[in-house]
Chains A and B, each alone.
Chain A
Amino acid sequence: MSFELISPNTLRDALDLLDVDDPSIRPFSGGTALRLMMKSGVFSPSKLVVLRGIPDLSGIEISDDGSLTIGALSTLAEVETSALVARQVPVLAGALKHLSNRRVRNVARIGGAIAHGDPHMDLPPLLSALNAEVIVESRNGRRHIAVEDLVIGYYETLLEPDELIVALRIPAQDDWHSAYRKVTARSADDWPALGVATSISHEGKEIRDIRLVVGAATERPTRLDISEGVLRSEGVAGLPRAVEAAMESVEVMDDSHGSATWKKALLGVELRRSVEEILGRNA
């Protein structure tokens, strides 16, 4: 395997090195996921554009409207231990504690983790439930993409080969409360066999609005639209129906972490628990 490693010092230089027609030229930040693909021979790059030396793409800031902007090169450990993240989106800090291990979190970058498109990840469903978006840049300009829309299939995203995620934006959560329930087949910090991310805007037990996203059991993180509709119209009394709808409507896949039947049963259980957890916690 022979490839070239290039470390540009500016975002502009990095974008100039990428090529919309050549996916063998890949941006490289932490590399903890991409290196697995390289070692197993799934991916052979011609060039890796190392982003680590680019200033201004890390750091976590809060805006006047309460939204958080997280630079794409922030490590997962930086996000996990950020006081701002703990205050504004505690569910994210909590999920990161069980996302792989400390060494990987020291190196993996948040932008890369979102761009990777592996269906077995914790962040895409959680960030979708939090209504987050990524800011994406190429030589042709900038665009914003909702995390919910970013992953369009198995390892497939809306990102063009010449585009980079430069930041993640998480809106103020106001009266929204969230939970992320992760099921693993081996250790607690394993890749998820199932992830259920839930955000509820509520007053007491009264549900005003809800966002439900399942990950790791499906080809891509998937909104549970029908279940959301049931809970919006019927409130918590509709929970059994919402659980049933989720299990019926979602196409769950077998993989090395477990069978579709098992995952489907767990989806029902974890969906119920996540709604009960949030409403119980903030009662």
Chain B
Amino acid sequence: MTKKPIKFVLNGREVQAFVSPDDSVVDLLRELDHFGARESCGQGLCGCCTVLIDGVSVTGCLELALLLDGKRINTVEGLDADGQLSAVQQAFIDTGAFQCGFCTPGFILMIEQLLDENPDPTDDEARDYLSGNLCRCAAYPEILSAVRNAAMKRKTAQGADA
């Protein structure tokens, strides 16, 4: 199978790779030693493979890697690039919002997006937004507390900046 060269920006760093037409974004990330996005259901239902492409959440196991050419991609690995966990990551630890942790990177990226769009979501809005992320440990109540906790942390941080 003919591999083609692509160039993209992964968590702020320019990357070149050779990819096959049927490689998914998750396949490519694994080759680049990025294991945060995981394929689980393989159908776009579970959200374990969530990545952000040009700032928009996308199902990484369905998206074709070749289509990353020229794009910006962000994964969970980039969230603590400055050496500090993001508010959402810290909130997951503070509220114990995971057990096995398999779904956690996907939830965290979706919640980052949710709070960017809606800094103070109600529980119903959060449930609605996260309906495409599944947690088989059923840590849903704790995940909702993490959303509230992260929203608070972000507000406090903004207050401190102002």
Interfacial residues, chain A to chain B (CB-CB below 8 A): 1-5, 7, 31-32, 35-36, 38-39, 48, 50, 52, 97, 100-104, 106-107, 187-189
Whether A106 contacts B131 in the complex (CB less than 8 A), given A5-B64, A39-B42, comes out as no
B contacts with A, residue count (CB < 8 A): 26
B21 touches A31 (CB 8 A): no
Closest 7 CB pairs of A and B: A101-B132, A35-B62, A103-B57, A103-B59, A189-B131, A2-B1, A104-B44
- A31-B62, A39-B42 are known; give 6 further A-B pairs, CB within 8 A: A5-B66, A38-B22, A102-B57, A102-B132, A106-B56, A107-B62
Question: Which residues 21-78 in B have Cβ within 8 Å of A in the complex?
Answer: 21-22, 42-45, 47, 50, 56-59, 62-64, 66-67
A50 touches B59 (CB 8 A): no
How many whole Å from A73's CB to the nearest CB in chain B?
14
Q: How far is A36 from B42 in the complex, measured between Cα atoms in Å? A: 8
How many whole Å from A283's CB to the nearest CB in chain B?
27
Partner among A4, A39, A107 whose Cβ is within 8 Å of the Cβ of B63: A107
Whether A5 contacts B21 in the complex (CB less than 8 A), given A31-B64, A106-B58, A107-B59, comes out as yes
Nearest B residue to A7 via CB reads B67
Q: How far is A212 from B62 in the complex, measured between Cα atoms in Å? A: 34
- A189 surroundings in chain B (CB, below 8 A): 131-132
A103 touches B21 (CB 8 A): no
> Does any Cβ of A come within 8 Å of B129's Cβ?
yes
B44 touches A2 (CB 8 A): no
Whether A103 contacts B50 in the complex (CB less than 8 A), given A36-B43, A39-B42, comes out as yes
Whether A101 contacts B45 in the complex (CB less than 8 A), given A32-B59, A50-B67, comes out as yes
**B115-145: contact bitstring with A at CB < 8 Å (1 yes, 0 no)?**
0000000000000110111000000000000
> Does any Cβ of A come within 8 Å of B151's Cβ?
no
B57 touches A106 (CB 8 A): yes
Q: How far is A1 from B22 in the complex, measured between Cα atoms in Å? A: 7
> Does any Cβ of A come within 8 Å of B110's Cβ?
yes
Nearest A residue to B51 via CB reads A103
How many whole Å from A77's CB to the nearest CB in chain B?
8
How many whole Å from A53's CB to the nearest CB in chain B?
10
* 18 residue pairs bridging A and B, Cβ less than 8 Å apart: A2-B2, A3-B22, A32-B59, A32-B62, A39-B42, A100-B132, A101-B44, A101-B47, A101-B131, A102-B57, A102-B110, A102-B132, A103-B44, A104-B44, A106-B56, A107-B58, A107-B62, A189-B132
